[in-house]
Structure 1
Amino acid sequence: MKQIDLEEGRPDVATAMSRLNNRIYQARATGDRACKIIHGYGSTGKGGAIKSACLSELRGYKRRGLIKDFCPGDKFGPFSEDGRRMVAAFPELNRDRDWARMNDGITVVLFK
């Protein structure tokens, strides 16, 4: 699964969101079925600004039909309905190394 690293180079939120937008469009254009976004959890222990902005952007992408679905890493596992829904749509996801690890620093995205 393709990875989109929003933390690389320690960007500000605007730069990270621009990177997210560009990479989502690239992944869709190349026919990828899913991608993993690495946004980190933030150094405050409350969740980072990039993570919050990323999840907000993904909600908008889903509403506009640009992506099929997404699942934050803390729900990406067999005990979450979100995780089960993702694997039902794309079974190979349960072989990902972050499956069932409750990794708050990632989000998995499914494309249409």
Structure 2
Amino acid sequence: MVISMSRKLAKIKTVNLEEGMPTVEQAGLRMHHELHKARAEGCTAVKLIHGYGSSGAGGVLRVELQKELRKAVLRGDIKVFIAGEGWRISDETTWQFLKRFPELKKDPDLGRQNLGISIVIF
């Protein structure tokens, strides 16, 4: 008797929203477009690179895009988003996601408290 243990592998897309030094509005439009596109492509998650700001005091893109992501969760557009500082095994949401998709434990940003990224889960 053969038991198949196949499961869907995680498909994660990385999008650099800092590229080209966009305004907050431009980055927001691109984020929404890329999230819609990633969902249509069957992605499990998207890693957004928004940066932390050149001053080191918290970039405007990071703050404003994460506000938009919170609204997207409330609307039901995305399941959850994990801010870069929460992208660690000791975070309960991250851990639940990694249990479903253990291959993502190899992500180079995992556990690095990278304030310049956000992980969006569909």
Q: Percent identity between the aligned chains?
A: 41
Could you say which structure has the larger radius of gyration?
Answer: 2
Tell me which residue corresponds to 1:30: 41
Counterpart of 2:65 in structure 1 is 54
Query: For residue 86 of structure 1, what is the aligned residue in structure 2?
Result: 97
Counterpart amino acid of residue 37 in structure 2: Q
Match of 1:21 in 2: 32
How far has the Cα of 1:78 moved from its partner?
1.3
Return the alpha-carbon distance in structure 2 between the equivalents of residues 55 and 92 of structure 1.
25
Moved more, 93-102 or 53-62: 93-102
Q: 2:68 is aligned with what amino acid?
A: E
Q: Which runs of 4+ in 1 moved over 4 A?
A: none
* TM-fit CA distance, 1:92: 2.8
Q: Flag structure 2 segments of 5+ consecutive residues without an equivalent.
A: 1-11
Q: Secondary structure of the residue that 1:37 maps to in structure 2?
A: strand
Q: TM-score of the superposition, structure 1-length normalised? A: 0.91
CA contact (8 A) 1:39 1:106 kept: yes
> Aligned pair count?
111
1:68 maps to 79
Secondary structure of 2:62 counterpart: helix
* Whole-angstrom CA distance in 2 between matches of 1:92 and 1:53: 30
Between the aligned partners of 2:43 and 2:67, the Cα distance in structure 1 is: 22
Q: What CA RMSD, in Å, does the superposition of the two structures yield over aligned residues?
A: 1.3
Distance 2:24 2:95 in 1: 30
Q: 1:53 to 1:89 in 2, by over 3 A?
A: farther
Aligned to 2:113: 102
